[in-house]
Structure 1
Amino acid sequence: MPTPASVDVYRNLTRRAWSVRVAGRVVGHVQAIALRDVTLRSSNAARLRCLRLQVRDVHAWARGIPTDAPRPPEATRFRYRLAEEGFRLPDGGRVHRADACWLEADGTAWCLASAGANVPPGGT
């Protein structure tokens, strides 16, 4: 089966794996995956609804093209937390694009951020 041009990947907390979606449909679950040309997407309205109703849903994901590239030592860890809007780097800056990202079996996420990928807090 050919590799799809672009997939959406999000952490499935129940399965403790990464869910892979193609065209809005989950096609599998993997322990780890690497993506290139990544856009990090999240819905702040859905995040606020999850906080208000105390429910879980999928409202943050990485969209990119699967690759076999190994994670380099200079990759930076990033995370998504329900308590704050968007994907965050260790310094608190937001990131919404990356040249590549690695979603690991232990649930951590790492990226090589693109130039201009960071958005200052309160930005778009």
Structure 2
Amino acid sequence: MPTPSAVEVYRNLTRRAWSVRAGGRVVGHVAAIALRDVALRSSEAARIRCLRLGVRDVHAWARGVPTDAPRPPEATWFRYRLAEPGFRLADGQVLLAAEVAWFEPDGTAWCLASPGANVRIGGT
């Protein structure tokens, strides 16, 4: 059996769904998806450009391997907002990686954060 490949997931605001990208190409749109071994990426230069020009583009995404793991009650909510750099937990802590993340039909995202994988506000 082949090893599952990593995909990139981002919220498609037009379709109100999660876009799934593999090998640099969108391969589908889903209402919900779960990923394991997640790395969260965003481009600060693109974020600033979007703010300056008032345009939208894909500059923040999660990369991981799809999984069927159900979301546990202890999962933590996180988000990405154009107004501030990086993905953030509810307490404002920057989130860089997660063991598992769930991207829900209502547009929310939840995770089990990897210990030591996060950086405090103002930290590097």
TM-score, normalising length: structure 2: 0.96
Report the AA paired with residue 116 of structure 1.
Answer: G
Partner of 1:88: helix, strand, or coil?
Answer: strand
| CA apart distance, 1:122 | 2.2
Query: Which position in structure 2 is the counterpart of 1:65?
Result: 65
Query: Which position in structure 1 is the counterpart of 2:46?
Result: 46
* Structure 1: gaps of 5 or more residues: none
Task: Note the alpha carbon deviations across 1:80-106, whole angstroms, 9 max, x for none.
Answer: 000000000010000100000000000
Report the AA paired with residue 53 of structure 2.
Answer: L
Report the AA paired with residue 79 of structure 2.
Answer: R
Query: Which position in structure 1 is the counterpart of 2:29?
Result: 29
CA distance in 2, matches of 1:67, 1:3: 12
Identical residues among aligned pairs (%)? 78
Query: Which position in structure 2 is the counterpart of 1:84?
Result: 84
CA distance in 1, matches of 2:51, 2:82: 7
Query: Which position in structure 2 is the counterpart of 1:98?
Result: 98
CA distance in 2, matches of 1:117, 1:89: 12
Number of corresponding residues: 123
Report the AA paired with residue 86 of structure 1.
Answer: G
| CA apart distance, 1:4 | 4.3
Is contact 1:39-1:62 (8 Å) kept?
Answer: yes
Query: Which position in structure 1 is the counterpart of 2:56?
Result: 56
| CA apart distance, 1:9 | 0.2
CA RMSD in angstroms, aligned pairs only: 1.1
Is contact 1:3-1:66 (8 Å) kept?
Answer: no
Structure 1 moving runs of 4+ over 3 Å: none
* Structure 2: gaps of 5 or more residues: none
